[in-house]
């Protein structure tokens, strides 16, 4: 039985030059011209085509009306759900629930595949420290360790086996590489970084996604250190296909090969095609430059023909791997069995409530007290909003499927307490009489829940913000309620990024970050607000006090003058909320940190553990976090680095000892020659509830190897 690569080799031998080039061509539309090209074997992949029947018809044309009958690879942006919409990826990351991330991706893939989609352009694994950048919403936050776990989980989920044993859809780790470093948070702007930052911070999630089996990689729009990623041989040929020996498809971003012209890196479309292909981009998304120019290029440069065979083999191998040759068509009845089924909807609700982060809860304002005819005011522009709750990249989600916060208040709170609703403001501008109505509603309530934040068109691709506070009209709404009434205020933030909401933090009684929670937004939020679910989310990104603090992140360098002066004369040094931060309706206590060695060899490991006790009045989940600091290195090291976490459930009064093992994998770094090494010296270690707190210990890595007879001090 030939394996997929061998089948691809065998097919390649039968292909003409035109048909080989055809496999490298992808279009994001399919009209008469594209259908003609499909028949001629000049297109290998499509995106932006929808409906099982439509896709089956296009497949039929490819399989039955072209000379070799090579099936099409149909791709789509299935980012955080297909029809059932999960929290935006940044919100999912806030759950720190890796299994849930995988489950969500598996469900999204199943729903997409039931409509004939067999390739998703996800997970986006771009690291960034730029919350002004709209696409921070699509990633897993500022920390490489958490982002690595998320990347691998999402790839596993998307590529989980279908009923025929094939990957449900091919995943695509994107955007290779460095896209999140855009200057000023301006999408598509230039990026520059040292090779150290590239290899230490930007590349690892790609590597972990590829280790998890990602069948494709998408190159970025941006130029990296002067060479656009979609024409960057160092990135694609040297690192990805060379060092990492990557066997999958490298697809460009939308017209990003043609955009080498706009970058000033290619003379014209032909030059762009040549440079993109030579750099290692196997498939051109939608620009058409490969279709138009590759044939001539290979006639002029026959030495490049082996590159074409390599690219086509990658593409054909993935098509065999997906079973497209054996099963090119989708059973159109499948979607009834799959789309938005109860367990998918329940998972969307569970994932959304686990992503919600409790940031403040003064005087136990939450959970809401619904007893004895309580009156709850529900206010704000995002409380009754079916569209924005799904967030960016959710266009296959349907508004009519969304449970809004108002829906859930009416169905689940109104029977127990008096609910008064007032919109109060639009998202971006005031509402006529909005303030008056909102103040009146709050005044007549025992507590006011104000749902504010960003609309979907303030977050995601090219929706960057130069100021990441609440829109002015929304803050004015909350200020009016605080000023005119004595009613306790619960602020619910729905956003695709961290928000610089210092005034809200200081004046609200409770603050909750719900991100854009997806189809089950209202139910997930009410589960938390009324205490049916004890919030367990932790921030995957630092929340600044002010936009002016950006970039601000927990794993910073110590510098030569730590705390000699204030970072700023006008703003505190500290973030508003640190990475890893999140409260619960119960309390947790950390005690009795233990290490099983004070000294270890360079190839040794050390076990670090601590007791975590639920000291509150109700069961709750806690994300126990492990951080290290390599105090002295051949290059400067961050003051803290996340190297482990465990999300645990503790019953009221329960204590668990949580332990982690630090191995060379966690203790190693890139030395001054960018070589991975565990360097001797002192390490600090913390186990705690977030990046700002924890029990501290230390150990020393000795300059010996375990097999040399360590004679080291172990407990
Ligand atoms: C977009 C995005 C990319 C997406 C692609 C196809 O511009 O940059 O993430 O997958 O085009 O829609």
Q: In this structure, are strands 418-422 and 375-379 parallel, antiparallel, or unpaired?
A: parallel
Residue 253 Cα to ligand 1 midpoint, Å, equals 6
Q: Count the residues in the chain.
A: 715
Atom of ligand 1 nearest to the CA of 124: 9
Residue 574 belongs to a domain: no
pLDDT at 468: 98
Residue 715 belongs to a domain: no
Instruction: Give how many domains the chain has, as a whole number.
Output: 3
Residue 495 Cα to ligand 1 midpoint, Å, equals 21
C-alpha–C-alpha distance, residues 297 and 319, integer Å: 26
User: Which residue among the candidates 97, 187, 223, 253 is catalytic per the annotation?
Assistant: 253
Residue 122 Cα to ligand 1 midpoint, Å, equals 9
Q: What is the domain extent for residue 696?
A: 588-701
Protein residue whose Cα sits closest to atom 12 of ligand 1: 77
Spell out the long-range contacts of 469-472 with Cβ–Cβ below 8 A and sequence spacing 24 or more.
469/499, 469/500, 469/501, 469/547, 470/499, 470/501, 470/504, 471/427, 471/428
Protein residue whose Cα sits closest to atom 1 of ligand 1: 254
Atom of ligand 1 nearest to the CA of 175: 9
Residue range 532-582, pLDDT digits in tens? 999 999 999 999 999 999 999 999 999 999 988 888 999 998 999 999 999
**Catalytic residue at 253?**
yes
pLDDT at 715: 53
pLDDT at 127: 98
**178 and 298 share one domain:** yes
Residue 529 Cα to ligand 1 midpoint, Å, equals 36
Residue 93 has pLDDT above 60, yes or no: yes
What is the CB < 6 Å shell around ligand 1?
Answer: 77, 121, 174, 253-254, 461
Protein residue whose Cα sits closest to atom 3 of ligand 1: 253
**85 and 200 share one domain:** yes
**310 and 382 share one domain:** no
Domain stop point among 549, 572, 600: 549
Structure confidence at residue 472 as a pLDDT band (50, 70, 90) = very high
Residue range 17-28, pLDDT digits in tens? 999 999 999 999
Q: What is the best residue among 46, 49, 77, 286 to mutate for testing ligand 1's pocket, by most ligand atoms within 8 Å of CB?
A: 77
pLDDT at 395: 85
- Mean pLDDT taken over the chain: 97
Q: What is the best residue among 253, 395, 460, 461 to mutate for testing ligand 1's pocket, by most ligand atoms within 8 Å of CB?
A: 253
Residue 621 Cα to ligand 1 midpoint, Å, equals 36
Structure confidence at residue 706 as a pLDDT band (50, 70, 90) = confident
Residue range 608-629, pLDDT digits in tens? 999 999 999 999 999 999 999 9
Residue 303 belongs to a domain: yes
Residue 5 Cα to ligand 1 midpoint, Å, equals 28
Contact 524, 517 (CB under 8 A): yes
Residue 381 belongs to a domain: yes
**475 and 542 share one domain:** yes
Protein residue whose Cα sits closest to atom 10 of ligand 1: 121
**544 and 673 share one domain:** no
Question: How far does Cα 511 stand from its chain's mean position?
Answer: 23
* pTM to 2 decimal places: 0.97
C-alpha–C-alpha distance, residues 34 and 446, integer Å: 62
**532 and 489 share one domain:** yes
Residue 361 Cα to ligand 1 midpoint, Å, equals 39
Q: What is the best residue among 283, 461, 463 to mutate for testing ligand 1's pocket, by most ligand atoms within 8 Å of CB?
A: 461
C-alpha–C-alpha distance, residues 123 and 151, integer Å: 6
Residue range 117-152, pLDDT digits in tens? 999 999 999 999 999 999 999 999 999 999 999 999
pLDDT at 707: 63
Q: What are phi and psi of 161, to 5 degrees?
A: -65, 140
**330 and 366 share one domain:** no
pLDDT at 712: 58
C-alpha–C-alpha distance, residues 522 and 384, integer Å: 9
**231 and 135 share one domain:** yes
Q: What is the best residue among 122, 254, 259 to mutate for testing ligand 1's pocket, by most ligand atoms within 8 Å of CB?
A: 254
b/e for 586-602, b at 16 or more Cβ within 10 A?
Answer: bebebeebebebebbbb
**329 and 353 share one domain:** no
**379 and 469 share one domain:** yes
Helix, strand or coil, per DSSP, at residue 451: strand
Whether residue 605 has a cis bond before it, omega within 30° of 0: no
**327 and 374 share one domain:** no
pLDDT at 711: 54
Residue 88 Cα to ligand 1 midpoint, Å, equals 16
Could you tell me what percent of the chain has a pLDDT over 70?
Answer: 99
CA distances from 569 to 405, 544, 564 (A): 41, 16, 13
Residue 348 Cα to ligand 1 midpoint, Å, equals 24
* CATH code of the domain containing 693: 2.60.40.10
Angle between helix 98-113 and helix 342-355 axes, rounded to 10 deg: 140
Protein residue whose Cα sits closest to atom 11 of ligand 1: 254
Residue 90 has pLDDT above 70, yes or no: yes
Residue 195 belongs to a domain: yes
Name 175's bridge partners: none
Residue 8 belongs to a domain: yes
Helix, strand or coil, per DSSP, at residue 490: strand
Atom of ligand 1 nearest to the CA of 172: 10
Protein residue whose Cα sits closest to atom 7 of ligand 1: 254
Who's near 521: CB < 8 A, 6+ residues apart? 352, 389, 390, 402, 403, 404, 405, 494, 514
Which runs of consecutive H residues, i.e. helices, occur in 27-143?
A: 32-39, 52-65, 89-93, 98-113
Atom of ligand 1 nearest to the CA of 75: 6
Domain stop point among 549, 577, 605: 549
Contact 131, 468 (CB under 8 A): yes
* CATH code of the domain containing 307: 3.20.20.300
Could you tell me what percent of the chain has a pLDDT over 90?
Answer: 97
Residue 489 belongs to a domain: yes
Provide DSSP, 206-229: HHHHHHTT-SEEEE-SSEETTEEG
Residue 709 has pLDDT above 60, yes or no: no
Structure confidence at residue 373 as a pLDDT band (50, 70, 90) = confident
Token reading at 449:
């829940």
What's the mean pLDDT in 474-489?
Answer: 98
3-state secondary structure 544-600: CCCHHHCCCCCCCECCCCCCCCCCCCCCCCCCCECCCCCECCCCEEEEEEEECECEE
Structure confidence at residue 460 as a pLDDT band (50, 70, 90) = very high
Residue 565 belongs to a domain: no
Whether residue 482 has a cis bond before it, omega within 30° of 0: no
What's the mean pLDDT in 146-168?
Answer: 98
Please classify residue 632 by burial: count the beta carbons closer than 10 Å to its beta carbon, then call 0-12 exposed, 13-18 middle and 19+ buried. Answer: exposed
Residue 219 Cα to ligand 1 midpoint, Å, equals 10
Domain stop point among 549, 574, 600: 549
Residue 714 has pLDDT above 60, yes or no: no
* CATH code of the domain containing 468: 3.40.50.1700
**175 and 282 share one domain:** yes
pLDDT at 439: 98
pLDDT at 708: 59
C-alpha–C-alpha distance, residues 595 and 685, integer Å: 9
Element (DSSP H or E) covering residue 196: helix 195-197
What's the mean pLDDT in 272-284?
Answer: 98
What's the mean pLDDT in 503-531?
Answer: 98
What's the mean pLDDT in 662-669?
Answer: 98
Residue 577 Cα to ligand 1 midpoint, Å, equals 31
């Amino acid at each position: 039985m030939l394996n997929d690569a061998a089948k691809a080799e065998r097919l390649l031998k039968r292909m003409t030059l035109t048909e080989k080039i055809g496999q490298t061509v992808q279009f994001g539309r399919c009209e008469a011209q594209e259908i003609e090209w499909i028949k001629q074997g000049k297109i290998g992949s499509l995106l932006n085509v929808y409906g099982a029947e439509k896709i089956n018809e296009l497949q039929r044309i490819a399989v039955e009306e072209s000379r070799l009958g090579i099936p099409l690879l149909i791709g789509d942006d299935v980012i955080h759900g297909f029809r059932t919409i999960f929290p935006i990826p940044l919100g999912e990351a806030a759950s720190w629930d890796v299994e849930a991330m995988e489950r969500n991706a598996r469900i999204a893939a199943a729903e997409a595949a039931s409509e004939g989609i067999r390739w998703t352009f996800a997970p986006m694994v771009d690291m960034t420290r730029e919350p002004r950048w709209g696409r921070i919403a699509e990633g897993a936050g500022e920390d490489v360790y958490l982002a690595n776990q998320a990347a691998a989980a999402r790839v596993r989920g998307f590529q989980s086996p279908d009923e025929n044993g094939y990957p449900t859809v091919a995943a695509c780790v994107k955007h290779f590489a460095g896209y999140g470093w855009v200057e000023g948070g301006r999408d598509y702007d230039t990026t520059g970084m040292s090779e150290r930052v590239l290899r230490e911070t930007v590349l690892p999630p790609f590597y972990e996604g590829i280790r998890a089996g990602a069948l494709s990689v998408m190159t970025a729009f941006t130029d990296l250190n002067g060479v656009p990623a979609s024409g960057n041989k160092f990135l694609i040929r040297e690192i990805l296909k060379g060092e990492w020996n990557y066997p999958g498809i490298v697809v460009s971003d939308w017209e990003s090969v043609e955009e080498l012209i706009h970058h000033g890196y290619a003379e014209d479309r032909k030059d762009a095609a040549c440079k993109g292909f030579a750099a290692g981009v196997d498939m051109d998304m939608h620009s058409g430059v490969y279709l138009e120019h590759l044939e001539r290029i290979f006639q002029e440069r026959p030495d490049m023909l082996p590159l074409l065979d390599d690219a086509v083999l990658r593409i054909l191998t993935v098509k065999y791997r997906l079973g497209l040759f054996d099963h090119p068509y989708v059973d159109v009845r499948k979607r009834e069995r799959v789309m938005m089924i109860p367990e998918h909807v329940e998972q969307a609700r569970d994932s959304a409530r686990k992503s919600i982060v409790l940031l403040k809860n003064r005087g136990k304002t939450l959970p809401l007290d619904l007893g004895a005819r309580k009156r709850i005011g529900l206010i704000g522009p995002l409380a009754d909003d079916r569209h924005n709750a799904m967030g960016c990249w959710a266009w296959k989600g349907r508004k009519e499927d969304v449970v809004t916060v108002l829906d859930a208040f009416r169905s689940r709170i109104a029977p127990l307490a008096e609910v008064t609703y007032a919109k109060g403001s639009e998202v971006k501008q005031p509402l006529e009489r909005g303030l008056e109505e909102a103040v009146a509603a709050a005044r007549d309530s025992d507590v006011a829940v104000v749902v504010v934040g960003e609309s979907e068109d303030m977050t995601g691709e090219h929706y960057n913000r130069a100021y990441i506070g609440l829109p002015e009209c929304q803050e004015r709404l909350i200020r009016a309620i605080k000023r005119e009434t004595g009613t306790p205020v619960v602020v619910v933030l729905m956003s695709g990024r961290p928000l610089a909401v210092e005034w809200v933090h200081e004046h609200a009684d409770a603050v909750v970050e719900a991100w854009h929670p997806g189809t089950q937004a209202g139910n997930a939020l009410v589960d938390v607000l009324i205490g049916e679910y004890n919030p367990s989310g932790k921030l995957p990104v630092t929340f600044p006090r002010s936009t002016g603090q950006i970039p601000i992140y927990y794993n910073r360098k110590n510098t030569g003058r730590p705390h000699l002066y204030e970072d700023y004369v006008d703003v505190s040094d500290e973030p508003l909320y640190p990475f890893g931060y999140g409260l619960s309706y119960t309390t947790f206590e950390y005690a009795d940190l233990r290490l099983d060695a004070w000294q270890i060899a360079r190839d040794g490991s050390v076990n670090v553990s601590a007791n975590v006790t639920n000291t509150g009045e109700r069961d709750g989940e806690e994300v126990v976090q492990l951080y290290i600091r390599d105090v002295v290195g051949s290059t400067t090291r961050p003051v803290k680095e996340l190297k482990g976490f465990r999300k645990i459930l503790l019953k009221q009064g329960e204590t668990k000892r949580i332990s982690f093992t630090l191995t060379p994998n966690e203790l190693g770094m890139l030395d001054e020659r960018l070589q991975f090494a565990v360097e001797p010296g002192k390490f600090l270690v913390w186990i705690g509830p977030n990046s700002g707190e924890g029990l501290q210990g230390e150990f020393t890595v000795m300059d010996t190897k375990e097999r040399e007879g360590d004679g080291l001090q172990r407990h």
